[in-house]
Structure formats: C-alpha cells, structure tokens
C-alpha cells in the first residue's frame, strides 16, 4: 500500500519541530517540506545573536543530513504558490505540482508593516529573517542614526542589534504609552525605559508615525504631533502578520485580522488541511511564541499517529534578557485590585522592579512582572502554574527571606512531578528526574539529549540543572569533586598538598591529609600522585599495598589469576635476536603469545611465582618493563617512515623511539598513548592517540587529546610544522598540565572535553604559555625523565620486594593450584570463569 503523503508548507521553527515530532513517533507517511527561505530551519528566537558572532550554521536547528536521515524530502527556496483543494495538489514556484493526503500550513508570520506614507523608501527594513539581518547590517555601515518602530519584544531586540552594529543614536518609537505593552505594566515600563536610556537608547512613547521623509531614501520620521526625528535608517518591528495569503486564496476560513482558523486539533475548515504555529488562529488568538507553536506541532503529530491530543490556551509567560536587562512576565500579569492583592518592590537605584499578584485569600500566586532581576522567574512561574501554597509572607518570594533562614517557597523540591519545566518542549519535572534515575543521565548534556529539555529557548536551563543536581544527590550519585570519604580534596588539591608537604608514602599522606584507614579508591589515586611527583619505585615498602591490582605485581592480572608480561618495544622496532628471546621465554614458561594493538608482544598465563624469573631473563636480553600495567605511557606506535617508505617525509620510527624512551615510566591520572606517522597517510593512526605526531613537509604536526576505546574521539591539532625540539617541548608541557590537573582516571580526551575554552584554551596554555607555567613544567618533567629506572629490574634485584611474588606465605615454592588452562589453536588459554 502506498504511504499517505503529508506536505508541510513552511520550514521555520514550528514546521521543523512538526517533522521532528512526527518522525520520532512513526516512520510511515511520505513527508515533503517546502521552504521559501534558502536555508534550513533556524532558531529565530536567538536571531539577534547573529550580530554577536553566531553564524547561520550555529543558528540552524538541524544538520545538513538530518532531513535525508529522517527520510524527509526538503525543498528550499521553493515556495508553494497555489493550492488546488479539489485535486489535493500544491503548485510550487518552480512550476511543479505535488499531491497531498494531508496538508500542513506552517507558514509562520511576516513582519506587520503599517501603512505609513513613504514606507517603500530605501533604508526601511523589517526584522524577521537572516536575509533581513544581512541587509540591515550592510546598510548600517553608512548610517549614523536609526529608529525602530515598535517597543515590543522584537523591537527592543532590533534596537539592540542596531547598537551592536555601531549606531550610537538609536531611537525606539512606540505607539502605546508604555514599552512591551503585552508583558509589563506602566511602572515596569518606566523602570525599563530608564535602564534603556542609560544605555544610550532614546525612547519615544505615545508616538504615531505619520510620514517617512526623504528623497528616495529615508532621512527623517514625521509624527502626528508634528514633531520629527532624523533617521538614516528605519527598522519596522510593529508586530507580526500571520502568513495566511495562500490559505485565503484557496478558500480556507481565515480570521478578520488574519490567521488561519483552526480548532483544538489544529484542523482548518478543510478536514485535510491543518495549520500550526504563528499562522494559526485559535480561539481568536495568534500565539507569537515558540513554545505554543511547538505544542501545536505536538498535538498534530500525535493525532496523525492515531493519538488524541487537543490544544488549549497556552501560558504566555516570557523571560528574556534585553541588552543585559532581565524582563519577565508570567501568569496573570495585569490583574489588579480588587481581584487580587498586589505586592510591589521597586529599587530605582539598582533598576529593579518586581510585582506579584496574589489571590485575595493569600493562598496562591496568580502572576507577576520582573524587571532588572528575573532570577526568581522559574520558581515564581512554577509556583503560579502549579498552585503551590504560598508562604505566610509572600513578599519573601521577591525579596528573599530575611534573618538568615532558607529562602521561602522550598524551591524545586516542592514542585509536583507534573510541573512543566521546559515549556518549549513540554518536559515535566518528572521527565527530567526520570532521565537521571532511570535513564542514567549524569550531566546536563545527557539530560538535554534524553529529554530535549532546554533545547528551545533555553530559559529553563538553571532549573534543569538544579533538578539534575538535586536528583543526583538524592541518589547518592552527586559527584562533589572529592576523592572519597577519606580525603576531602579533589585530585588536583591533593596533588599540590602532597607536593608542598613533600609526602612520600601513602601512609604519610593519609596521616597528614586524610582520615581513617583509606580504601581502594584513594589508595591507587594517591599512589599515582606520588609516582607522578617523585618517580620512586612504586613497590617501596608501604606503598606496595596501596597500588592498584596491576601495579601491585607490575603485571596485568588476568582471568583465572595468572598475569601477563609485556616488555617495552619502543616504536615497535625489534631485532630478530630479541624476537627469539621472547619466543624462548614464552616456550620455557608456557606462555600464550599475542601481538598487541600497540606494536608489541604480550605474554599471557604467567604464574605470580614465575614473574621475577621471567623478567630476569628478559632484562638480561636487554628488555625493560613496558608498563602495560600502569597508568602511564603505554606505547608510541609508528609507521615505518622515510627510512623505507617511498612516501615517508621524516623518520617516524626514530622519533617514536625517542618519544617513547623520553616518557616511559611516567605515571599520570590515566594511561596515555602516542603515535608518530611519517606522512599524512597516517598509517600509525596518530590522530586516535592522547598525543599524535604527523610529519609534514616542514616538520611535525602535533595533535592532542584523542582516544580509541568505548567513546572514540579524534585528536585535535595543537600546533603545526614544529621542529623536533619544539614538538617535544610542547608535549612536555602538555603532559605536565594533564598530570597536574586531570581528575582521577580521566583520559586526555575527557580532560579536554571538560576544560572550559577547549582546545583554544589548551593551545594558549601550551604554546603561548598563558599561565606562565611552562618553565616549571619543563623542569618538573625533566626531573621525572632523569629519575627513570626500570622498575622490574629494581624488583628482581630487591629481595624484600621479590619475596612478595609468591602465592602462599607458608609454601613459597608452590604455585596457585586453582589456576587452570585449556588448549586452543596450539597454545593455551585461560579456563572460563567458574561462575557466570
């Protein structure tokens, strides 16, 4: 059977949201979208950020492939020009026609342009699309004075944009006696006006523009009170006009003042045609905000998938920051006495105005207005919507409790699970909490991904964050950055304290800085710091028992209780003689051999008792520890490079060996790996390493903070065309910065992901020495490098340490009889877990 075909006219925020919601519910329906603008749907709410350096791409709501991935056909720059309802066909600007089963109007709105004589003159603009912004920005270059008609939300945004464009004299003309007449009252408007005036904006209220003067292009505005105002350009932002002309032309019912009439199912007078967003007229009202538009999209998408949802009147509360000034209104903001009791707080010195309307019985909050400080907006809105009983002194809601007690209102905990936190996406408190408790979300990004909360206007983010932290805490999951119950410090703090106090053993550290007896969390962490700081033999008496499982016996404990042995093979280069030694040792001690991912050889299945003798033989043949067991440098992988390869630019093997020998044995918060490629073909896969080096014509490119593993991440370019010495200097600094500041068991990629400012900040620190730490770090790492010793050599030569490599204290010669091996492909392997 052929899928029913849905055609969406309009690719704005609501049209896009409809597609997203529909596709999240079903993959059936052929979905075709026609957009008039040349680009994919973008965030019109934050349009003015386009002037603050955001690009059209940043504002885009989807990625380039999204429509294709979702199996949606998207036509841009291709408006629908005619609809034939009888044939159920749309005709497009490029002369094609398409049949629909269901037609959705998401045509949005255009700017309302009042019919003022001279409005067609050059220098008059509207403020609606990215193209409008491009035009305004180009024209502003030659303008000294500008005016905005409209003192509403969008008009103020436009005025801000003009200031950002460098026009000093910007005027705001408003027909009504106050600014933002839909949101705030006269007193609030006064406060806002005085703040905007401070910023250099001229505000003219009660002004009716009668003419736009100028020869061909605008030079001045004339008003009905016979005053006038110079203006090199004019931005009209006097409201919106629903885009209903197509609907009107094909005979669908529209409102007298515009808007496509819809019922609570978003259905128009034609049952096959629906309208959503700012073009839809519901119960005589156009909803000019994104949240109700999204709700309409949700209603329609649900009903098309055989659900049953209805649209009902929508809360029009808003909060925004205008030129740095908080403005918010919520609930019933204009209700006055005697229908309510009003509490007003005004501080002209600070430019703060707050008004709340409380029910006559003092029980509930009905609505309010906030200017200058809207930090309480989310709580107040929730208190009003959810009819949460007010405290005895409701004034505390806007003044804060005095006398040092907790702020009234009990905060987010008092909200019911049904409380709507993100109205753009319709996400409730319960949804957000569940994403943490059941969905495993542990940070704000997870929650955003999982619930979509905060992905619309973003206004609810502080509340989402509070809910996240609160829920994590109540689960005992909250990660206050301390190590464990024994140390009330972060790793970085502990690192500095151990350094300052020159503590050398775990016990000293615990006694000096911690409490109680320690545990399996702080022991390896402190041991790692001690190793990073002093580079002493990690099994020195007292420190051996504070090492993690693998470090404790300088080998990786494997399933069954045997260990594996990995000698270092720097750069992956090995002589035939050494290969033979590895083979002989493996045969003698019956070890399974395998080539590792890091270009060396792993010998598995060694008994604890055999480790010292195995290593004695390897060391005698010139091998040393490979530190495969430690949180430190693993391998520096290399391609064969210019010595053999016909493409090679430099000798990648020699450089890899130099790097590996330089950093071997240095311990860090987590393991780290490296690679060197001799040319851009990148055979050593350097871009998947904690630091990777790729030869260029002029030197080396240095990449940092990549890793494979469960969440692969490419390394990022830190610096280009370096000579070998500079490259090493940067790596020195990079490693010390990482060792000093990373959280425990954090790979470099995650470390960078958490770093404020990201790679640019890191580059500044490493290359430009913005912290002034470079000399110290270079000195510190030099100390670590010069104190390197093979710890296996030390272990086999020290009788006290060697004594620990036996399984039974009362039968030192006997090996663990419980270890079992089975045969596979001519070698041994460990027996399966005895329990599953």
Partner 1 sequence: MTESTNNWLAACRVEDAVENGGVCVKHGEEQIALFYFTRRNEWYATQNECPHKKQMALSRGMIGSITDEPKVACPFHKKTFSLNTGECLSGDECAIKTYPVKVENGTVYVGTVPKS
Instruction: Tell me the per-residue interface mask from 589 to 608 with partner 1, x by CB under 8 A, - otherwise.
Output: --------------------
DSSP H helical ranges for 458-505: 461-474, 491-501
- The verdict on 835 binding partner 1 (CB under 8 A) reads yes
Stretch that binds partner 1, among 100-108, 260-268, 470-478, 815-823 (CB under 8 A): 815-823
Q: Per CB under 8 A, which of residues 560..589 are in contact with partner 1?
A: 560-561
Considering just the CA atoms, what is the radius of gyration of the chain in Å? 35
CA distances from 804 to 103, 379, 555, 672 (A): 78, 61, 13, 28
Smallest gap from residue 557 Cβ to partner 1 (A): 6
d(CA 400, CA 409) in angstroms, rounded, equals: 10
Smallest gap from residue 485 Cβ to partner 1 (A): 7
- The verdict on 833 binding partner 1 (CB under 8 A) reads yes
d(CA 232, CA 605) in angstroms, rounded, equals: 84
Stretch that binds partner 1, among 181-189, 459-467, 565-573, 803-811 (CB under 8 A): 803-811
* From 135, 479, 519, 680, residue interacting with partner 1 (rule: CB under 8 A): 519
- The verdict on 816 binding partner 1 (CB under 8 A) reads yes
Smallest gap from residue 478 Cβ to partner 1 (A): 18
- The verdict on 809 binding partner 1 (CB under 8 A) reads yes
**Minimum CB distance to partner 1 smaller for 559 or for 698:** 559
d(CA 321, CA 328) in angstroms, rounded, equals: 9
- The verdict on 818 binding partner 1 (CB under 8 A) reads yes
- The verdict on 721 binding partner 1 (CB under 8 A) reads no
- The verdict on 58 binding partner 1 (CB under 8 A) reads no
Coil, helix or strand for 611?
helix
In sequence order, the 6+-apart residues with CB closer than 8 A to the CB of 583 are: 593
Do residues 494 and 483 touch, judged by C-beta distance below 8 A? yes
- The verdict on 523 binding partner 1 (CB under 8 A) reads yes
- The verdict on 517 binding partner 1 (CB under 8 A) reads yes
d(CA 457, CA 425) in angstroms, rounded, equals: 9
Stretch that binds partner 1, among 516-524, 567-575, 667-675, 780-788 (CB under 8 A): 516-524
Stretch that binds partner 1, among 72-80, 491-499, 543-551, 624-632 (CB under 8 A): 543-551
Number of residues that bind partner 1 (CB under 8 A): 37
Phi/psi region, residue 148 (left: phi>0; alpha: psi -120 to 50; beta: rest), is beta
- The verdict on 486 binding partner 1 (CB under 8 A) reads yes
- The verdict on 667 binding partner 1 (CB under 8 A) reads no
* From 58, 264, 485, 797, residue interacting with partner 1 (rule: CB under 8 A): 485
d(CA 457, CA 499) in angstroms, rounded, equals: 47
Task: Tell me the DSSP string of 764-796.
Answer: HHHTS-TTS-HHHHHHHHHHHHHT---HHHHHH
**Minimum CB distance to partner 1 smaller for 552 or for 634:** 552
**Minimum CB distance to partner 1 smaller for 122 or for 814:** 814
Do residues 529 and 494 touch, judged by C-beta distance below 8 A? yes
Stretch that binds partner 1, among 289-297, 411-419, 461-469, 537-545 (CB under 8 A): 537-545
Smallest gap from residue 617 Cβ to partner 1 (A): 24
Coil, helix or strand for 328?
strand
d(CA 811, CA 815) in angstroms, rounded, equals: 9
d(CA 101, CA 8) in angstroms, rounded, equals: 11
- The verdict on 810 binding partner 1 (CB under 8 A) reads yes
Interaxial angle between packed helices 429-437 and 444-451, expressed in degrees from 0 to 180 and rounded to the nearest 10: 120
Phi/psi region, residue 447 (left: phi>0; alpha: psi -120 to 50; beta: rest), is alpha
- Give strand pairing partners of 97: 91
- Give strand pairing partners of 33: 8, 74
Instruction: Tell me the per-residue interface mask from 638 to 657 with partner 1, x by CB under 8 A, - otherwise.
Output: --------------------
- The verdict on 507 binding partner 1 (CB under 8 A) reads yes
- The verdict on 487 binding partner 1 (CB under 8 A) reads no
- The verdict on 516 binding partner 1 (CB under 8 A) reads yes
**Minimum CB distance to partner 1 smaller for 510 or for 531:** 510
Task: Tell me the DSSP string of 37-91.
Answer: SSS--B-STTGGGGGGT--HHHHBSS-TTHHHHTTEEEE-S--EEEEETTTTEEE
Exposed, middle or buried by CB within 10 Å (0-12, 13-18, 19+), for 180?
Answer: buried
Smallest gap from residue 626 Cβ to partner 1 (A): 20
Smallest gap from residue 507 Cβ to partner 1 (A): 7
- The verdict on 670 binding partner 1 (CB under 8 A) reads no
**Minimum CB distance to partner 1 smaller for 523 or for 637:** 523
- The verdict on 546 binding partner 1 (CB under 8 A) reads yes
Smallest gap from residue 544 Cβ to partner 1 (A): 7
- Positions in the binding site for partner 1 (CB under 8 A): 485-486, 507, 510, 516-520, 522-524, 541-542, 544-546, 548-549, 552-553, 557, 560-561, 804, 807-811, 814, 816, 818-819, 833-835
């Amino acid at each position: 059977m052929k899928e029913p075909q849905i055609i969406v006219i309009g690719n704005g925020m609501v049209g896009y949201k409809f597609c997203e919601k529909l596709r999240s519910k079903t993959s059936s329906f052929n979905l075709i979208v026609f957009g008039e603008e040349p680009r994919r749907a973008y965030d019109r709410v934050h349009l003015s950020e386009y002037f603050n350096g955001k690009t059209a791409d940043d504002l885009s709501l989807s990625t380039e492939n999204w429509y294709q991935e979702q199996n949606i056909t998207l036509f841009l720059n291709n408006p629908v020009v005619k609809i034939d309802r009888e044939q159920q066909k749309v005709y497009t600007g490029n002369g094609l026609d398409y049949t629909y089963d269901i037609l959705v109007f998401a045509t949005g709105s255009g700017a309302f342009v009042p019919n003022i004589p001279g409005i067609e003159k050059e220098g008059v603009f509207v403020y609606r699309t990215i193209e409008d912004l491009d035009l305004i920005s180009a024209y502003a270059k030659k303008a000294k004075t500008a005016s905005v008609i409209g003192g509403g939300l969008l008009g103020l945004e436009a005025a801000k944009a003009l200031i950002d464009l460098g026009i000093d004299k910007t005027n705001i003309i408003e027909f009504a006696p106050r600014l933002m007449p839909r949101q705030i009252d006269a007193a609030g408007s006064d406060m806002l006006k005085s703040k905007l005036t401070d910023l250099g904006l001229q505000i003219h209220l009660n002004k009716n523009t009668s003419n736009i003067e100028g020869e061909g292009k605008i030079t001045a505005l004339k008003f009905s009170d016979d005053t006038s105002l110079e203006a090199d350009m004019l931005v009209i932002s006097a409201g919106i006009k629903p885009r209903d002309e197509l609907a009107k032309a094909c005979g669908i019912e529209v409102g007298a003042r515009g808007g496509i009439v819809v019922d609570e199912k978003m259905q128009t007078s034609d049952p096959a045609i629906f309208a959503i967003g700012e073009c839809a007229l519901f119960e005589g009202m156009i909803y000019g905000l994104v949240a109700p538009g999204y709700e309409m999209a949700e209603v329609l998408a649900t009903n098309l998938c055989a659900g049953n949802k209805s649209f009902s009147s929508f809360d029009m509360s808003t909060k925004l920051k205008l030129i740095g000034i908080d403005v918010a209104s919520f609930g019933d903001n204009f209700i006055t006495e005697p229908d309510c009791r009003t509490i007003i707080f005004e501080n002209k010195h600070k430019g703060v105005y707050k008004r709340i309307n409380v029910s006559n019985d003092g029980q509930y909050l009905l609505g309010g207005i906030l200017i200058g400080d809207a930090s309480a907006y989310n709580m107040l809105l929730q208190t009003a919507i959810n009819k949460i009983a007010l405290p005895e002194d409701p004034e505390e809601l806007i003044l804060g409790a005095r006398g040092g007690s907790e702020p009234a209102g009990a905060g987010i905990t008092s909200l019911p699970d049904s409380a709507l936190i993100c109205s753009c996406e319709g996400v409730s408190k319960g949804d957000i909490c569940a994403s943490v408790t059941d969905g495993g979300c542990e940070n704000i990004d997870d929650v955003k991904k999982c619930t979509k909360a905060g992905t619309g206007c973003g206004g609810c983010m502080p509340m989402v964050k509070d809910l996240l932290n609160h829920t994590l805490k109540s689960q005992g999951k909250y990660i206050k950055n301390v190590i464990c119950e024994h140390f009330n410090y972060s790793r970085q703090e502990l690192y500095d304290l151990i350094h300052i106090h020159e503590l050398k053993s775990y016990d000293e550290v615990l006694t000096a800085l911690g409490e109680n007896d320690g545990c399996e969390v702080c022991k390896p962490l402190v041991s790692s710091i001690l190793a990073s700081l002093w580079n002493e033999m990690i099994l020195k008496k007292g420190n051996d028992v504070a090492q993690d499982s693998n470090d404790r016996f300088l080998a990786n404990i494997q399933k069954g209780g045997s260990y594996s042995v990995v000698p270092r093979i720097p750069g992956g280069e090995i002589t035939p003689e050494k290969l033979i030694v590895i083979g002989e040792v493996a045969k003698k001690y019956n070890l399974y051999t395998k080539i590792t991912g890091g270009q060396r050889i792993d010998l598995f299945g060694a008994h604890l008792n055999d480790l010292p003798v195995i290593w004695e033989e390897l060391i005698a043949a010139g091998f040393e520890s490979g530190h495969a067991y430690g949180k430190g440098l693993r391998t520096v992988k290399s391609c064969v490079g210019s010595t053999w390869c016909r493409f090679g630019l430099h000798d990648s093997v020699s450089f890899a060996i130099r790097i590996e020998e330089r950093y071997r044995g240095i311990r860090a918060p987590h393991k780290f790996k490296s690679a060197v490629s001799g040319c851009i073909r990148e055979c050593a896969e350097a871009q998947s390493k904690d630091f990777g080096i790729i030869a260029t014509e002029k030197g080396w490119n240095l990449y940092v903070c990549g890793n494979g593993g469960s969440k692969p991440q490419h390394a990022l370019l830190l610096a280009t065309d370096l000579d070998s010495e500079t490259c090493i200097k940067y790596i020195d600094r990079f490693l010390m910065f990482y060792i000093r500041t990373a959280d425990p068991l954090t790979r470099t990629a995650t470390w960078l992901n958490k770093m404020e400012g990201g790679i640019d900040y890191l580059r500044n620190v490493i290359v430009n020495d913005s912290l002034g730490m470079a000399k110290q770090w270079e000195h510190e790492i030099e100390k670590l490098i010069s104190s390197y010793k093979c710890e296996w050599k030390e272990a086999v030569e020290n009788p006290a340490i060697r004594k620990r490599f036996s399984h039974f204290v009362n039968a030192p010669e006997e090996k663990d009889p419980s270890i079992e091996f089975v045969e596979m492909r001519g070698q041994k392997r460990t027996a399966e877990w005895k329990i599953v």
